[in-house]
Amino acid sequence: MTEDLFDTLWDNEPVKEPTGKPRRATAHPQMQPLAERLRPQRLDEVVGQRHLLAPGQPLRVAFDEARPHSMILWGPPGTGKTTLARLMAKAFHLPFIAISAVLSGVKEIREAVDAAQRHMNATGEPTIVFVDEVHRFSKSQQDAFLPHVESGLFIFIGATTENPSFEVNSALLSRAAVYVLESLKPEDFDILLERAIALEAPGLRFTDKARDILVNLADGDARRFLNAVELACHLALDQKIEEVDDKLLRRSLPSTLRRFDKGGENFYDLISALHKSVRGSDPNAALYWMTRMIVGGCDPLYICRRVIRMATEDIGLADPRALEIALNAAQAYERLGSPEGELAIANAVVYLAIAPKSNSIETAYNAVKSFVKKDQTRPVPLYLRNAPTKLMSELGYSHGYRYAHDEPGAFAAGEIYMPEGLEAMHWYEPRPRGLEIKIGQKLEQLDQLNREAWAKGVGRKKDRHLK
């Protein structure tokens, strides 16, 4: 029984079970998928996640200082959650039990407890228990881990693609650090492609166009990327071809992906057409391109992510309900699956297409970001600073701050919230469409109240020497 619980690492050395008996041999490495054969054996081989693994970053520090601890790894598929869990077991020479929340239940949890208890009795060491898709476990199943995490029997590592704030038991969550993993970037895939070629087909070349298609199809998922690369390498070797171009790549891809890329269209051509149709307020065209993608084999959740982007990028505050509907569509699809869940996506696509359009927030955000990168570092005015200590209060922190809720209309007329020298800067300009019409009117009213206050000598204008 325990032979099935304790997983192997990647150095082909046997991993000892709690009894000290080596587990049986696994499949020959060459029979494993490329993604498994390329799985990192050392932390420095992990691609991406520099915000967690660069020197001085939190997860790297835990490895360097030999401080294994319970954690939740939250991120999209193919970003290294399982790899990091396995590397922690290898780095600290601890037994590793992997449980899939999709395939397992209370029986498997009990077996893990029994195996870990035997190891603890024999060595005094904890066991790393890795639960993949932990959000699929019910609250009561998640509760089953709590006493063993608290006692130190388990070092619990959960992997999830869902927000742990909503999907993981709060008691379990409070006992684990949460690390957010990011989708891989194009430069990360360059590294993976180089490694894959060296292992699978030394000397083989990929054209830039073929590489771009692979990166687009991967959508940040290393496993998906390597699976496609492996198929392309096999086809090239079989046909004694030295260079993989976009035509060969399309022939090597699974039929669903070839269909999605039918007629030589790049993966992003169809999503671009969908996005532009929504932006152009054509619900029929938007529905057509969405259906083309789904029928062609595109992951509906990928479309959901793009629809959420459309709601924020092209509609924004002109109709804030658009983002809510887009998020609801993604959640509905996750709960219903195909084909019923696809109707929720269609609802969102049509709603977004007919909604009023505004890119004012995107424009303002990009303008502010560009300005901040070039501008000097401006201090926060003293009256806007918090004063949690006596010393800070004595230094003038928070002095003169006007609490808006105590002012007429909950607005401190004449107050200035920008750093000195930026008082006249305005980046956000509401569009005359949808809700932003009312937002624009509201801002005009507030500006008028400020002008009236300054005319009376009230507010910060006299302090800032504004004209």
- For the stretch 375-407, pLDDT in tens is 888 889 998 999 888 888 888 899 989 999 999
- Amino acid, single-letter form, for residue 93: H
Interaxial angle between packed helices 222-238 and 186-200, expressed in degrees from 0 to 180 and rounded to the nearest 10: 40
- Amino acid, single-letter form, for residue 206: F
Omega of the bond leading into 33 within 30 degrees of 0 (cis): no
10 Å Cβ neighbour count for 428?
16
- Of the candidates 159, 168, 172, the residue with the CA atom closest to the CA atom of residue 74: 159
Burial (CB < 10 A; 0-12, 13-18, 19+), residue 88, is buried
Angle at the Cα of 306 (from 302 to 307), degrees rounded to 5?
A: 115
Instruction: Record the pTM.
Output: 0.54
How is residue 5 written in tokens?
Answer: 């619980």
- Amino acid, single-letter form, for residue 292: R
Across residues 295-316, what is the average pLDDT? 90
Q: Give the span between the Cα atoms of 320 and 220, in whole angstroms.
A: 28
* pLDDT-based confidence at residue 106 (cuts at 50, 70, 90): confident
% of the chain surpassing 90 pLDDT: 30
Residue 17 has pLDDT above 70, yes or no: no
Nearest 5°: phi and psi at 200? -95, -40
Report helix, strand or coil for 38.
coil
Residue 467 has pLDDT above 70, yes or no: no
Q: Give the span between the Cα atoms of 401 and 382, in whole angstroms.
A: 9
Across residues 344-367, what is the average pLDDT? 95
Across residues 217-221, what is the average pLDDT? 82
How is residue 256 written in tokens?
Answer: 């669903």
* pLDDT-based confidence at residue 353 (cuts at 50, 70, 90): very high
Residue 7 has pLDDT above 70, yes or no: no
Termini Cα distance of the chain:
80
Are 137 and 131 a contacting pair, CB within 8 Å? Answer: yes
